[in-house]
Structure 1
Amino acid sequence: MIDTVFAERFAHEWVEAWNSHDLESILSHYSDDFEMSSPFISSFSPESGGTLRGKEAVAQYWAAALEKFSDLHFVLDSVFVGTDSIALTYTSVLDKKAVEVFFFDENGKVFKAAAHYREG
């Protein structure tokens, strides 16, 4: 079960990793076989249906995203705690509001995540 201390620490480390544009640091939060779903994925990989599986596939997508959005900076708004998941609200690229849900395995790594966006 996830507690508030773990959730807050994860959220701040995750945002810091993204804001540093350090792909290895970003990927360190995820299991090797994790699954990522996002509307942005379809723009990079139309055949994916918006979902990528495996760290290697997601790493390629995120590397391209970091290159495209060289000024990427996330601003954390809120952290919500579930039993085996966390939901973060934050301001994302292009000033979009985001909600991202992370599901954690027994090792404290994200095995599945889904991002949701609306215009700022």
Structure 2
Amino acid sequence: MSDFDQMGLVVDWVDACRKGDLATLLDLYADDAQVECACNGTQHYRGRRELETYWGPRLSAFSSAGFGLEEINPAPDGIDLEYSVAGSLRVHASFRFSAEGKIYSTLCTPSRQNSHDGCAC
């Protein structure tokens, strides 16, 4: 599993989000990858078509509002990332990877918000 740079793959994910590059972002995921988003109720997306439906509008929002990397850390089974949108909304994302070096799953949840910001997830 450690034959590839997991941290580098997540940095590539961040770069694709910042640029609003949907094709590159989707290419980082395995064909049967899944995203579980618990920011507005729990929603599940699986496979490239559903991930495209999920990420398309979000990338547009990220690129216009601003997407910031707050923290990135190794986790026992992958990489944990905290990012911000529009400088205030903070999201925690946990990434797990396939043996082929692709993102297999992403779980995103609202992070603790700054006391004056509130959560807009």
With the shorter chain as reference, the TM-score category is 0.7 to 0.9
Taking a change above 3 Å as real, the CA distance of residues 80 and 67 of structure 1, as seen in their structure-2 partners, is closer
Larger helix share, 1 or 2 = 1
TM-score (norm 1): 0.77
**Can you give the 5+ residue segments of structure 2 that lack an aligned partner in the other structure?**
115-121
Look up the match of 1:24: 23
Q: Which moved more, 1:8-17 or 1:18-27?
A: 8-17
Deviations 1:74-96 (A, max 9, x none): 21122221343111112135721
Distance 1:50 1:98 in 2: 15
Counterparts of residues 27-66 of structure 1 (less than 5 Å): 27-40=26-39, 49-66=42-59
Q: In 2 relative to 1, CA 92–14 (structure 1 residues): closer, same or farther, beyond 3 Å?
A: same
Query: Are 1:84 and 2:84 an aligned pair?
Result: no
Q: Structure 1 regions of 5+ residues with no counterpart?
A: 43-48
The number of equivalent residue pairs is 113
Distance 2:61 2:106 in 1: 21
2:20 and 2:60 in contact (8 A); partners too:
no
- Identity, % of aligned positions: 25
CA distance in 2, matches of 1:115, 1:33: 18
Q: TM-score normalized by structure 2?
A: 0.77
- Residues 39, 110 of structure 2: 8 Å contact kept: no
d(CA) in 1 for partners of 2:52 and 2:79?
A: 21
- Contact 2:67 2:87 (8 Å CA) reproduced: no
Does the C-alpha gap of structure 1 residues 68 and 99 become closer, same or farther in structure 2, counting only changes over 3 Å?
Answer: closer
